[in-house]
Structure formats: structure tokens, C-alpha cells
Amino acid sequence: MDIKREPRRKTKRWVYLGASVAAVVVITVALGSLGPAAPSVDRSSVWTDVVKRGEMVRQVRGPGTLVSEQVRWIAALTAGRVERRLVEPGAEVDSATVLLELSNPDVEIQALESQRQLTAEEARLVELKAQLESQRLSQEALVATVRSGHLEAMRNVRRDEDLAEKGLLSEIDLQNSRDKAEELEQRLEIERQRLTVMTEAVESQLAAQRAQVERLRSIAEFKQNLVESMYVVAGVSGVLAELELEEGEWARPGDILARIVQPGRLKAEIRIPETQARDVAVGQLALIDTRSDTIEGRVTRIDPAVLNAAVMVDVRLEGPLPREARPDLSVDGTIEIERLTDVLYVSRPTYGQANSLVGLFKVVEGGNAAVRVSVRLGRASVNTIEIIEGLLEGDEVIVSDMSAWDEHDRVRLR
């Protein structure tokens, strides 16, 4: 006997199906509301540092060179052709060492002509002196002759006065004797004045001629010095650093021929970027790095001008010089600006500038992630920078370049 079965109810199936669809919708909406996943960064590829509190040393750094404190530049005094190079750069020289030999026939001819003119004027001085002396002696002889006549006239007057008193001589003859004596007296005075004027004129004429001789002697000496200058000497002891001209080249007056330095007395010339040079002051401590050693020093001069976006700073070297120290050696200089006490600081970020607001990635979740935080930076040094706000002591931040993740505020560290 067949038994009629009732159709099975499908209610549960539809309930399960609806729940599944709803779950898929909810999950889809939830996933859609989430942002993109945080990118992963290899921890070994970033550089981190921990924020510290304490003393921070502010420093500025720049490249430079060692230069001699005493440099002698030797310039050409006259034009000439280089005949011989007697010393090569790098050699030690003293004050009498001949560096170059020049030649110029015109200079030698001018020296000979000036010597001829001097000799002629010296001969004229001797001739003039003899001539004037002869004239003076002639005048002295004339004065002596007039004086003798005047004395004789005075004796005649006394004789005639005795004769006139005895009535043996007329009054007219006595007066003639007196007139003669007075005439000779006046003439004697005139001749003496003439001798005085002549003596003074002799001295003035000789002085003028002597001045002319001295002027020509100075010219002759100058011309002779030009001839001697064609043998270029060092003038000081030191090391020949440069010798500009080669044999056969022509030197003009004023051209630099050589440079001599004293290697034992060096200073450093450091080029500090103009944005950092405002805090540099004379007397500050400096450390000069020669790549294989360091030398202590102090700032002695700051150039007032800016050249190629840098300020030249002179540093006097106070420590012992290493063996490799020599003029024109490339060095790096670090100048200590100030010491800040009890401040928060961290290693200087790649893109962080002093007194600016930047975004830094702070390491969180036990080193598994990093989030961007706004940090206000303060005073900066070469390798460190002050933290004004945004970080606390002990915070670990990424200080290497993170510009590749500028669009993300969070990264995962793996």
C-alpha cells in the first residue's frame, strides 16, 4: 500500500543562504571602509636613533685646505725671456738660491746709458767745484790786496796829520789822504761782501750739482737692480711651491714668477656654508681632519665676503702637525659653536633643517611599525639637532630618508 509523503520544507536552506549573503555583504563593506594596507619597510634599510636629553655640542663643518702662514710671491721687476730654470717646485731653497735666469738686452743697454750719464755729471761736479774754488780764491786775493792798500792809506793819513800839525803839509793834501783811505775802506767792505756772496753761491751751486749726481746715481742703481733682478732669487728660506714660467717664455713686469712657502707654519682655510657661518666667531675651537689625523686649532679670522655660497674662515693650528701636513692639503674643518645643556636632541634627519616643523616616523609596537608624527626642530649641529616638541626622551625615530613613503602615515617594519 503506497503512503503519500508530504513535501520537505526548505525554510532552513533559505535562512542559511540569506545569512551567508549578508555576511559577504558585511565583510565587503568592512573591507571597503578600510584604507590600503601599510607598506612594509626593511628595517635594515633605515637608520634610527633614540631621543636623548643632555648636553648637545653645536658644530659647523666645511671643506678647506692647509696654507702657509708666510707666503712669498716673487714677481718680475722687468720684462725678460726665461733662459734657464735652475730649481723645480718642491725643492728647499734659501734666500740666495737663484730660481730663474732671464735675459733682456734693452734693460742692459739702459743700465749702461744711465751709468754714462752719472759719470758725466760726476765729472761736471768736479769741474764746477774747481772753477768755483778758483773764483773764490781770486776774490780772497782781491780782498787781501784792497786791505793792504787800505792799511797803507791809513798809515799815510797818520803821517800827513803829523806833518800838517807841524805846518809842513797843506790842508788839501791832508784831506786827499783821508779821502783815499775812506775810499779803500769802503772798497774793502764791498769786496768782503762780494766774497761772502761768492762763498754762499759756491755752496748752493755745488749742492745743486750734487743733487743732480745723486739723482742720476739712484737711476743708475735702479737700472742696475733691474739687470740683477733678471737673476731671480728666492729671498727667503722655505719650499718652492710654484714656478710659473718655462724656458723660452716671456715674462712681463709684475708677472708672478714663483711662490715660496714655509711648511712649518701652516693654517687652515675652511669654507663654511653661508647659512651656517652666522654663528662662527673668532676664538672658537676647531678640529681639522687631514683624513689620517686631526689637529686642534682656533678661529682667527672670518672673511666678511661670501664667495660661492661659502664664507672663508681662517683657523690657527695649535696642536702638533702630523707628517702628512703640507701646503694645499685638502682637509675638513669642524668648528664648535656652543654647548647646549639639558636639551632634547637626536641625530640630524636627512631632510631636517634648523628651526623647522617636519614629519618624522616614530617607531611603535615594539619596533614592528612606525607612525608619522609632527616634530618641531630647534638649533642644529653637524650630526645632531635639538627637539623642541613632538618627541619625548627615549622615543625611537627614523632619521634616514623616508621620502619614498611621503603618502603614508604608517609603515610596517620587517
In a 3-state reduction of DSSP, which class is residue 295?
Answer: strand
355, pLDDT greater than 70: yes
Q: Which is it for strands 357-364 and 294-307: parallel, antiparallel or unpaired?
A: unpaired
pLDDT by residue (tens digit) across 269-325? 999 998 888 889 999 999 999 888 889 999 999 999 998 899 999 999 987 888 878
pTM attached to this predicted model: 0.58
Sequence ranges of the domains in the chain? 43-67+262-413, 71-102+231-260, 105-218
Average pLDDT over residues 141-148: 89
Q: What angle is formed at CA 10 by the lines to CA 9 and CA 11, rounded to 5 degrees? A: 100
Rounded CA-CA distance 177/161 in Å is: 9
Q: Could you name the CATH architecture of 43-67+262-413?
A: Beta Barrel (2.40)
For residues 64, 66, 69, 75, the Cα torsion angle rounded to the nearest 10 degrees is -90
Q: Is the pLDDT of residue 328 over 90?
A: no
In this prediction, residue 6 carries a pLDDT of: 52
Using CA atoms, how far apart are residues 270 and 34, in angstroms rounded to an integer? Answer: 55
Q: What CATH topology corresponds to 71-102+231-260?
A: OB fold (Dihydrolipoamide Acetyltransferase, E2P) (2.40.50)
pLDDT (tens digit per residue) in 194-229? 888 888 888 888 888 899 999 999 999 999 999 998
Q: Are 391 and 362 in contact (CB under 8 A)?
A: yes
Say if CB 66 and CB 331 are below 8 A apart: yes
Q: pLDDT digits over 178-188, tens only?
A: 888 888 889 88
pLDDT for 115-124, tens place per residue?
999 999 999 9
Residue type at position 113:
E
Residue 216 CA to residue 41 CA, distance in Å, equals: 88
Residues 76 and 225: beta-carbon distance below 8 Å: no
Residue 5 has pLDDT above 80, yes or no: no
| Cβ atoms of residues 65 and 328 within 8 Å | yes
Residues 337, 286: Cα–Cα separation, whole Å? 9
Q: Render 230-260 in DSSP notation, one character per residue.
A: TEEE--S-EEEEEE-PPTTPEEPTT-EEEEE
Q: Is the pLDDT of residue 3 over 70?
A: no
Of the CA atoms within 13 Å of residue 82, those in its CB half-sphere come to: 22
